Amino acid sequence: MTLTSRPAAPAASPTLCPTRTGLGILALALGSFGIGTNEFVAMGLLPEIAGGLHISEPTAGHVISAYALGVVVGAPVLAAMTAKFNRKIVLMSLMALFAIGNVATVLAPNYPVLIGARFLAGLPHGAYFGVAALVAARLLGPERRAKAVAQVMTGLTVATVVGVPLASWLGQLLGWRSAFALVVAIGLLTLVAIWMWLPDIGRGHATSTRTELDALRRPQVWLALLIGMVGFGGMFAVYTYIATTLTDVSGVPRSWVPLGLMVFGVGMVVGNFAGGRVADRSVIRGLYLSMTSLAVVLAVFVAAAHNPFTAMVLLFGIGASGAAIAPALQTRLMDVAARAQTLAAALNHSALNIANASGAWIGGLVIAAGYGYTAPAAAGAVLAVTGLVVLTVSVALQRRPSVVSS
């Protein structure tokens, strides 16, 4: 396989009017908006969660890791199990499970139950994004795959601009549980939107569970996943503790934290669209550009965090660089997974949530070790550079077809 090779062409896109296609993708993006709000809002409410449950903030950070673990487990299992089924029904079922997990979060009476609820809420995350990306790619056609992925991911990035600040504000005003009640409402609205707006495209290329799992025998799939696991972790190392970083290091009032989250989110929106456009021209170039940029801005943030203005500017840069990785990495996995498209698309989000969990964990370690709240950015820069090394190894091996043949 050469650097420019692609998997077999997908089934022909259904013939739909632009309005119907647009509404279908809007329904998918609404789901990613709800999932994005759910994933990121806990990071901005760690002080409230810690105070409400009478635990330390690093301990409260484990709810983020529990959610990420749910994604890691749920993505491959649910994607493989549902590969044969009608994709519209699968998406509706995943969104129903998502809503149930967040109802459990709202009602959790104590810390152990909350950990279990966050794990449950994370289970459908990766499978939803994976199936939604494949549906969107089929609706838009094979030459706009990265753009289709970016459009689905738009909901997640817009969530960081609108959903997360709104939920964070609501959580500060009415208690952290109210933020997750908002997520439940978005999940139910998405369920209705998918039912009414998403065209029924059937099963696409129906595959067996065994065929999907065969992707795990491909070295390039594991290398692509490792790029996401390592390289993306730096963004989460910073973002997980951004509330305290802004108040204790940058010196801004607590009421400004939603503004910082919004700035980060605007960066993610810009980076997502830019990353999709670059990846449609060259996936490898897109990965190199985005990951190099992330390493640089994380390193600069160590010093920039001490000033409110420069902290906000660099938060935009971290969000943009991190978000630009996602569509390129998603497309890369679709390229190297052969027929196991559903599992590959879902595994991307397993990788990113391993990065989420490991980034939060590493950030907590360096803070607990006494290095301060700028230390996660320094650790994150190292993670991003490590991701670049893995990418370079992947490209080098791909130039040797005998190494990656299966």
Residue 204 has pLDDT above 60, yes or no: no
Task: Specify the range with the lowest mean pLDDT, choosing from 95-104, 200-209, 218-227, 383-392.
Answer: 200-209
pLDDT, one tens digit per residue, over 1-50 is: 334 334 444 444 555 667 777 888 899 999 999 998 998 888 778 888 98
Contact 176, 49 (CB under 8 A): yes
Average pLDDT value for the chain: 84
| Residues in Cβ contact with 375 at an 8 Å cutoff, skipping those fewer than 6 apart | 302, 363, 366, 367, 369
Single-letter amino acid code for the residue at 341: Q
Retrieve residue 28's tokens. Answer: 């998918």
Q: What is the percent of the chain with per-residue pLDDT over 70, rounded to a whole number? A: 89
Q: What is the percent of the chain with per-residue pLDDT over 90, rounded to a whole number? A: 37
What is the reported pLDDT for 1?
37
What is the reported pLDDT for 99?
96
- Cα-Cα-Cα-Cα dihedral of 150, 331, 125, 392, to 10°? -120
Residue 249 has pLDDT above 50, yes or no: yes
Residue 51 has pLDDT above 80, yes or no: yes
Among 88, 308, 126, 127, which Cα is nearest to 229's?
Answer: 126
pLDDT, one tens digit per residue, over 327-357 is: 888 888 878 877 777 777 778 778 887 887 7
pLDDT, one tens digit per residue, over 374-401 is: 999 999 999 999 999 999 999 998 877 5
Contact 331, 146 (CB under 8 A): yes
Among 136, 139, 146, 200, which Cα is nearest to 15's?
Answer: 139
What is the reported pLDDT for 401?
59
* pTM score: 0.74
What is the reported pLDDT for 191?
95
pLDDT, one tens digit per residue, over 148-179 is: 777 887 888 788 788 888 898 899 889 999 99
Among 48, 44, 131, 37, which Cα is nearest to 83's?
Answer: 131
What is the reported pLDDT for 403?
45
Give the length of the chain. 406
Contact 376, 199 (CB under 8 A): no
Question: For the chain, which domains are there?
Answer: 18-404 (1.20.1250.20)
258 compared with 98, residue with greater pLDDT: 98
